[in-house]
Amino acid sequence: MLNLEKIYEAQERIKDVVVNTPLALAPYLSELCECEIFLKKENLQVTGAFKIRGAYNKIASLTKEQHESGVIAASAGNHAQGVALSASKFNTKAIIVMPESTPLTKVNGVKHYGAEVILHGSNYDEAYGFALEYANKHSLTFIHPFEDTKVIAGQGTVALEILEKCESLDAIIIPVGGGGLIAGMSAAIKAINPKIEVIGVGACGAPAFRESYEKKSAVDSKHVRTIADGIAVRDTSEITLAYALKNVDKIISVDDEEIASAILFLLEKQKLVVEGLGLLV
């Protein structure tokens, strides 16, 4: 089980690779909402997203034999780059399976860190299934994007950094896809200051996690459709759901029109270019 000690251990393990990103006041947004709002700028992370935290914590924890055999992951973007960079730090062979429709820029981003890319399937689920089969066939360690305690602990370090700078927050709002980020962050938040309200925000076009949270039982979606591709997860993890049910106060959803408006708002008012995943707050 994940606890605060393991999240602090993850913070120590990743400190030389992961950037302690700024927690900055958003003046215009604060004025608009009549309260102080801070933005955790994980878009300034070394790979452009928080995913490096969990990926590095997991790969740094592998045995010598696992490093020698290599790792594999399935991802269309941020997790892929996190795994590729993390593996390169240990001279560990990394294979990333990406859907055939993955943009060339993302493919090249993964290759830049030295990983081998296999394009397979028309969507993430097909790439994921192939990656699991490939891992078993070639004795590789599969690095899951969220259904892994070491990965969840790594993502939880975002909360540690926030609370080290501002422990007296009323609420922390966290985007929800597969649930790895909110599972790790909420565990840290409630252990340090249980009075802080933890609010998850997902996309209407990827409703599985929110519906599972409301029903208190894992349910899957038949399909997902959202511009926030970083959280376009079809199936619900029972592992991350369990942490959410224990530590999250509520989960809400926003539609693609609201996400698109938020992209434009932050670009115009905060001078930030942020992907859909990060705008769900």
Q: Which CATH number fits domain 52-142: 3.65.10.10, 3.40.50.2300, 3.40.50.1100, 3.40.50.300?
A: 3.40.50.1100
Are residues 183 and 243 in contact, defined by beta-carbon separation less than 8 angstroms? yes
Quick one: CA torsion of 278, 30, 199, 160, rounded to 10 degrees? 70
Domain limits of the chain?
4-44+148-280, 52-142
pLDDT digits (tens, 9 = 90+) for 35-80: 999 999 999 999 999 999 999 999 999 999 999 999 999 997 899 9
Please tell me the distance from the alpha carbon of residue 105 to that of residue 114, in angstroms, as a whole number: 15
pTM over 0.85: yes
Positions of the chain with pLDDT under 50: 278-281
The answer to whether 4-44+148-280 and 52-142 have equal CATH topology is yes
pLDDT of 281 reads 45
CATH 3.20.190.10 assigned to domain 4-44+148-280? The reply is no
Q: What is the DSSP string of the chain?
A: ---HHHHHHHHHHHTTTS----EEE-HHHHHHHTS--EEE-GGGSTTSSTHHHHHHHHHHTS-HHHHHH-EEEE-SSHHHHHHHHHHHHTT--EEEEE-TT--HHHHHHHHHTT-EEEE-SSSHHHHHHHHHHHHHHHTPEE--SSSSHHHHHHHHHHHHHHHHH-TT-SEEEEE-SSSHHHHHHHHHHHHH-TTSEEEEEEETTS-HHHHHHHHTS----S----S-GGG---S--HHHHHHHHHH--EEEEE-HHHHHHHHHHIIIII-----GGGGG-
